[in-house]
Structure 1
């Protein structure tokens, strides 16, 4: 042990004048160059950062300022009651200080180097919660694990997490609250939704314009004057004093042919559309997935 320390210290001091420090090497090639002591597996090689529990890291909150950004610590356990700076320390692992809060290094799948932070959103075919990702289904925050409850509260979700079922996600606009819901998948067109134009319901045209024709009566006939139809021998109406005055005199079931003529018509028509006010589906074509929020493992 004494020999090892002497070699290491000699290496450090021999390089100090050059502004570079080497451990187990006399020729460092960086500000700090650590070379493995052995490569045959007979010793444990590597760098061990300070190891503290989440609560111990929290106890030092006041010691960490923006100038400490980049500091690395290994948390041996998650913090029990998080502070603003330790909200992400939910489990054992490597954490770095970004100048404001401790961030976990390589969260998610370490094989893909996915770095996740509390509040991240993703879509997935996963059917349920997994690896720190919680399904956004509107459930009570109190039903989540304690560490997830702490992070949810830090995001502003104190009663329920948002419900993303049958909804699209939109970017916050102005003072909108994150996680707030709005809009509707259905819409019904009302009069106020129509264009600002005038629809004139005037009907006009001609009828029976194809040549000579007669007109029949739907109520027994036409009563005409100056005709021999149904007369009493005198060829015209005789007056109320005669018993035969109204005996069918001048009554015809149809008009006589009057040659080729037309009839004009005009008016205002009301035409029903046959609609029943059914709402329309306002959604575009879609693929169904689940939406998750990351609240730590």
Structure 2
């Protein structure tokens, strides 16, 4: 008789599915977090894990983030130290919400909508093209450098001037 119950319990798990509700006894999706409006003295919301950029950099060294963590969301409280802005955290220069993109193996910042400021995700300096020749003590007239970029927000960049020393 015990074997029959064990067999039924085993198959029961394959036929059922679950939804989890927080402050809800009737969840409408896989994870349903509902505001608890009966308490006016508490804050409601979903708190995303908060990490520093240095912690994410160290996690890459340990091999923690990969394909299984695709689309993971974190809030970065501080950018990694300049020397640590390589690999998965390359280009992470400010605090904010970031998601992990396993295809590019990078943390990508979620941009806020409604801004008209041109933004660049990453300069691709190794693909830069140059026209003209720079000569010591001569004007750089006719010299152009084109640096492609990715993860732009679609806005236009006007001519940018850079002061180069060296």
TM (norm. structure 1) is 0.35
**Cα separation, partners in 2 of 1:113 and 1:98, compared to 1, 3 Å:** farther
- Check the 8 A contact 1:74/1:92 in 2, yes or no: yes
Residues of 1 paired with 2:37 and 2:30: CA distance? 22
Structure 1 residue aligned with 2:107, among 102, 108, 118?
102
1:42 offset after TM fit, Å?
Answer: 2.6
Q: Secondary structure at the match of 2:57?
A: helix
**Map of 1:77 onto structure 2:** 78
1:19 offset after TM fit, Å?
Answer: 1.6
**Cα separation, partners in 2 of 1:181 and 1:113, compared to 1, 3 Å:** closer
1:40 offset after TM fit, Å?
Answer: 6.7
What is the CA deviation profile of residues 114-160 of structure 1, one whole-angstrom value per residue up to 9, with x for unaligned ones? 895423xxxxxxxxxxxxxxxxxxxxxxxxxxxxxxxx5xx33xxxx
**Map of 1:43 onto structure 2:** 42
Aligned residues: 115
1:181 offset after TM fit, Å?
Answer: 2.5
Higher RCO (CA < 8 A, seq sep 6+): 1
**Map of 1:67 onto structure 2:** 68
What is the CA deviation profile of residues 83-105 of structure 1, one whole-angstrom value per residue up to 9, with x for unaligned ones? 21001321111100001100001
**Cα separation, partners in 2 of 1:111 and 1:63, compared to 1, 3 Å:** same
Segments of structure 1 that go 5 or more residues without pairing to the other structure are 1-16, 120-151, 157-176, 184-288, 293-297
Segments of structure 2 that go 5 or more residues without pairing to the other structure are 1-15, 133-156, 161-166
| Larger helix percent | 2
The root-mean-square deviation of aligned C-alpha atoms, in Å, is 2.7
